[in-house]
Chain A
Amino acid sequence: MNNILDYLKNKQLVWQGNHNNNVLAAQSSGYPELDAHLEGGLPEQGMLDIHSDTGIGELRLFLPYLLQRQIQQQRLMVIIAPPLQINSEMLAEAGFALERILVIQPDSAQDALWAAEQCLKSGCCHSVLSWQNELEIHQVKRLQLAAKQGNSLHFVFRNQQNNSLSLPVTMSLQLAPSHEGISIKINKRIGSWNNNKVTLNMRQHWPVLTQPETQATYADNLIPFPNRRVS
């Protein structure tokens, strides 16, 4: 009886609830709280889908991770179709080597996808950052393959509205503004399931870009009492 079960397990014909076979190779994101929440950190390769408004700290959140990758890997970082001009002073101040960064401003969304695929599969880039609102499943699959081939990580920044489709990405995060920093919700992560929200306190990382708690209207865990009286 047991033998049969072992046999079936070995053949991978039985799925178990606690099955955790394909754990992602992960690296620390630079924030211990977030690492604990993500059970290890951010993926080393693949596609990281980030739903976020522009200007709430979505790029700053990943800078420690990107910097660590740049120092370790000595490869290029490519920024494709940023919504505004990239400020080199800020990146230099954060410790990035500017000659290891390329910015690509394609003329069309088609060119942007092409550039992203080339960068990912060339093996010359440790990370590719792109701003791409419209993505389809077959495009994501293709980019995932390219990322695997070139051992590269693709950060895709998208607006929160385009949230309906579930894409075959490695990890999908939803970012929301918070007075103290930024709150992160994991939409999807290969290998595990954790739907909780975590709010990172960024007071020590970006002191001028946080507001004291007193100004906050409500804390995350409070439910406002209804104003209208129920008779």
Chain B
Amino acid sequence: MKKLWLYLHFPNLQLDCLPSEQSQVPTIVLDGKRNQTTQCNSLAYEQGVQLGMGLGTASALVSNLQVIPYNPDIENNKINEIADSLYQLTSDINLQTPNGILLRCHNMLAFYGGLSAYWQAIQENLKQLDVQYQFATGATPFAAKLLAKTQFNHVTDDAKQLKNALLQRPLEQTELAFKTVEKLKRVGIRKVAELAKIPLSDIAKRFDIDLVTYMGRMLGELHHNVRFYHPEKKFNRRIELLYEIDNTEVLIHPLKHLLSGLEHFLKIRDQLTEKLIISLQQREQATLTFDLEAAQGEYQAQQWQSLLRLKLETITLLAPVYAISLQTGATFIRTPDKQDLFAAKQGALSEAQFISQLQAKLGNDNVRSLLLNNDFRPELSSAYGSAHAQAHSVAVLQKDRPALLLSTPEVLTEQVTINSGPERISFGWWDAHPVLRDYFIARTQTGRWYWVYRDQQQRWFLHGVFS
């Protein structure tokens, strides 16, 4: 099989990450360390700004210039996002950070039935991502990269045409070090073609090994190993806000974008998650991280959004938020719910969804289930547990117990008449909480029924109310 590689070069990646309103203003991305313009939008270009210009020159040319500091993290995030969406179309992707993607296409052509169909699918996808790109095919990764960076912008598998185009490229535009290019110039070699004429063994005699490997790989004489991209197992995305937000209600809008990204991520993997971890980065304050839990696995942005809205109501921001990140907890494969077809369903919510909604608003500690323990001490036999805890069955259930218990018994202050009893509970002499009590059922003057006990010191306590 003839080898073919496709290289995509994104010259304005950081500008593409900005919202579309930004294209109305001349904007440049400035590498502060080198004081060089690395990216500029079309408005700035029309007014004379060129790549490589310093800040002083650029701002002298354009009065209302917007300058954005270069941030490799943003490009890195975006390139991963692009690779992630291309992964749906093509299997072998190599990331050429910070702003290129290399695709191995020869093994995909049988599937798509030709290069043009393949390229159309890729183009459709890139259109949705709304990024600027240059592209080219090549017989080797380096050839494709050189052609793409020099705006060849053709997708073809015609080896002759590709070879010709490659040989025309000047050496300045290759990946070679500046020093090597200068050396080659001095001996009269300016184009790839001139260098390609010389056998590799001869080059090796006079120049360093980097040039030999580069040329060998570009011309396909040496093997070129590339590492392919594997999509992440977990969703982990971060967005920088354009302006700081100090209101939790407004915060829901940028989070919506993240959630729809999450929905897409989980949907194509047919996965669900029960937990989202959201971090809000606050200016001059510690990052606020909270978990959002759903009782049953969810992927839909709509469901998460309603939970999130409830959760945000309970959160107070200490300072304005400038960035948000969203991660998933464990994910698992979706299995369809088994529901009774004939049982009438009243609402749109399932029981687990309903419980997670309550938990999101009221807090996990305020939604409890009832538990039983194998213990004769009333304060230990009955307990609250977390909302999904299952009560164990207990060997003996005592009769005539009150419906309401005081969490700690109180000294009896009311006058009561004893109706039945005593029932002695002597338990726990082997652990730290021994109990020896005589319980009585008593009635107050106003007709309430109390569960009272007398301890060994003949003191009387109220422990429960027969509601």
Which residues on A are within 8 Å of B, measured CB to CB? 53-60, 74-76, 82-93, 98-99, 101-107, 111, 114-115, 118-119, 121-124, 149-152, 176-178, 208-209, 211
Contacts and interface: CB of A to CB of B under 8 A. Distances in A.
B355 interface: yes
Interface in B338-385: 343, 345-351, 354-355, 357-358, 361-363, 366-372, 378, 381-384
A206 to B, nearest CB: 8
A89 B404 contact: no
Contacts of A98: 369-372, 391
A103 B369 contact: yes
Interface stretch (B58-66, B276-284, B393-401): B393-401
A54 B347 contact: no
Contacts, number: 170
Given A89-B372, A124-B347, 5 more contacts: A85-B407, A88-B372, A89-B381, A104-B368, A211-B443
Contacts of A124: 346-347, 349-351, 354
A88 B446 CA distance: 26
Contacts of A149: 346-347
Nearest to A121: B347
A104 B419 contact: no
B387 A106 contact: no
Output the residue of A57, A89, A93, A104 with the most chain B CB within 10 A: A89
Contacts of B402: 87, 90
18 contacts: A54-B448, A55-B450, A84-B406, A84-B465, A85-B407, A87-B378, A88-B383, A92-B370, A92-B372, A92-B391, A93-B399, A101-B369, A102-B367, A103-B370, A104-B367, A106-B362, A107-B362, A209-B441
A123 B447 contact: no
A99 B394 CA distance: 14
Nearest to A151: B346
Given A85-B404, A106-B362, A150 B346 contact: yes
A92 B378 CA distance: 14
B382 A89 contact: yes
Contacts of B465: 54-55, 84
Given A105-B366, A118-B358, A123-B346, A88 B382 contact: yes
Contacts of B444: 55
A223 B466 CA distance: 30
Contact of A85 (B343, B394, B406, B466): B406
A57 B404 CA distance: 11
Given A84-B405, A87-B405, A101-B369, A209 B466 contact: yes
A59 B467 contact: yes
A111 B362 CA distance: 7
Contacts of A119: 354, 358
B361 A114 contact: yes
A76 B398 contact: no
A83 B464 CA distance: 11
Contacts of B420: 208
B57 interface: no
Contact of B369 (A102, A107, A209): A102
Nearest to B375: A89
A217 to B, nearest CB: 11
Nearest to A126: B346
A65 to B, nearest CB: 15
Contact of B404 (A84, A92, A99): A84
Contacts of B448: 53-56, 177
Nearest to B450: A55
Contact of A209 (B343, B349, B405, B419): B419
Contacts of B368: 102-105
Nearest to B344: A151
Contacts of A101: 369-370
Nearest to A111: B362
A177 B446 contact: yes
A119 B362 CA distance: 13
Contacts of B343: 74
Output the residue of A60, A102, A111 with the most chain B CB within 10 A: A102
A83 B368 CA distance: 15
Contacts of A176: 447
| Shortest 4 CB-CB contacts between residues of A and residues of B | A177-B447, A123-B346, A123-B347, A55-B448
A201 to B, nearest CB: 15
A28 B374 CA distance: 35
A105 B401 CA distance: 22
A152 B347 CA distance: 11
B390 interface: yes
A121 to B, nearest CB: 7
A45 to B, nearest CB: 10
B403 interface: yes
